[in-house]
Amino acid sequence: MNDFENLTASHLAIVRDGQRVNLQRVPTPSLAAGEIRVAPLIAGLCGTDLQILRRERDDPAPVIGHEGVARILEVGAGVPDYLRAGMNVILNPTHPGNPQMLLGHQLDGMFQQSVKIPAAIVESGLVVPLPVDLPARLAALIEPLACVIHAFELMCKRKPAGPLIIYGDGIIGHLAALLAKRYLGVWTRVTMVHHSSAGLHWSERNRLHFDRHVLFDDLGAGLELPMQDRPVAALIATPRSATLACLEHAVSQVSRHGVIDLIGGLPGESRLSSLPGLADIAQVRSHNCGGLPLAGAFTDVLTHTGKPLVLYGHRGVASATLQDAARLLAQNPGTFSPLVTHLLSLPEAAELMQRMAWCGEREIDGERFLKIAIAVTPCSSLLKADTSFQQSGNLPCTA
């Protein structure tokens, strides 16, 4: 039987309802003109998803999940010709012009076997063909890797030569540490600041060695970085509950005219006394959205001591950057595979998400997890690339 034949009337979904997370069968909606229906194949469990489960965010979508690769099942009338049934695609979750069109946050997301993609998302070029053959579990890394690529592309526009400090030992922090020298130069010294000793020990056990590992608590206790590691740039890849504390430390450590990237989220109207000219730091992050503006938006600030710094952040990336990330994963599977620590079935993922809604432990059977890949829809075939768009040249540019 075709792997997708039983999804036409109803499908399985991981549904949030208050404090409960349940795997249940839900109706499969029909399509209108301009819409497409996809079957997520592999989805990634993101740190933002964990914050939603713990009710640290108020995103309304009952079905979350915004990372991964899907297969087109059906296309509505008027859908562009480069999208067709049977094609594997990447879904760009961030609409650059409409923050209410955020997949897995405002709109039901990837943790279900069938997703209806609205015409506004299709028209904006946010559904793009998977451009390369890719080991299935690595599909969970496409979106976070694209975010890191975009972060460094922006950083390169303003960063002076010198060391980088990365705050956060989740998937974004590890990806940034792996890619830093590729984008900033092989002589760039990288200090990675871990949230916990468990995270630091995981990196060491898996031989993800960088120039220097530090625990944030040690920095808070007054540990000064050696002169050769004093940063000219910082990348803050933390949950929103930790971003301000790490930004406060970065402001004190980064040198004059240094650059700070706020990948980590922030509560609205966030302020720091050390940055008296910024009434709402969260707004800095929103100036770059979905890969726009192309030149990047940066905020020049003075600290309370008069030190000039450059701040920026970003929400989402351009669709072309997602394709670049897929290509990089396909070229270097051995480099990135250790970061995908677990591949779970949909029922296993539902059980884990219920547990994460109650507690914050990042463990499965006593083993720390970094990146979870979820096999959403049973599929007997491997992920295959569809590269016909490269010959036709009709893939729209979201810029």
pLDDT for residue 381:
47
Residue 115 forms beta bridges with which residues? 38
| Residue 397 confidence (pLDDT) above 50 | no
Radius of gyration of the chain measured on its C-alpha atoms: 21
Helix axes 319-331, 142-155, angle to 10 degrees: 110
Distance CA 317, CA 287 (A): 12
User: What is the SS3 assignment for 85?
Assistant: coil
Domain borders along the chain are: 5-142+325-392, 146-313
Residue with tokens 């000039």: 308
- Encoded tokens for 149: 């690529």
DSSP H or E run through 236: strand 233-236
CB count within 10 Å of CB 4 equals: 20
| Residue 392 confidence (pLDDT) above 60 | no
- pLDDT tens across 324-362, in order? 999 999 999 999 999 999 999 999 999 999 988 887 678
- pLDDT tens across 195-252, in order? 888 888 888 887 776 788 888 888 765 566 777 788 999 999 998 888 999 999 999 9
pLDDT for residue 383:
60
Distance CA 387, CA 385 (A): 6
What one-character DSSP code corresponds to residue 125? T
Lowest-confidence pick of 1-10, 33-42, 146-155 = 1-10
**What does residue 345 show for φ and ψ, rounded to 5 degrees?**
-75, 170
DSSP H or E run through 149: helix 142-155
- pLDDT tens across 39-54, in order? 999 999 998 888 888 8
pLDDT for residue 58:
81
User: What is the SS3 assignment for 97?
Assistant: coil
pLDDT for residue 87:
95
* CATH match for 146-313 among 3.40.50.720, 3.40.50.12780, 2.40.50.140, 3.40.50.300: 3.40.50.720
Sequence-separated (6 or more) residues with CB below 8 Å from residue 221: none
Distance CA 28, CA 12 (A): 9
**What does residue 167 show for φ and ψ, rounded to 5 degrees?**
-100, 125
- Encoded tokens for 372: 């979870």
User: What is the SS3 assignment for 63?
Assistant: coil
CATH topology classification for 5-142+325-392? Quinone Oxidoreductase; Chain A, domain 1 (3.90.180)
C-beta of residue 330 within 8 angstroms of C-beta of residue 382:
no
pLDDT for residue 1:
40
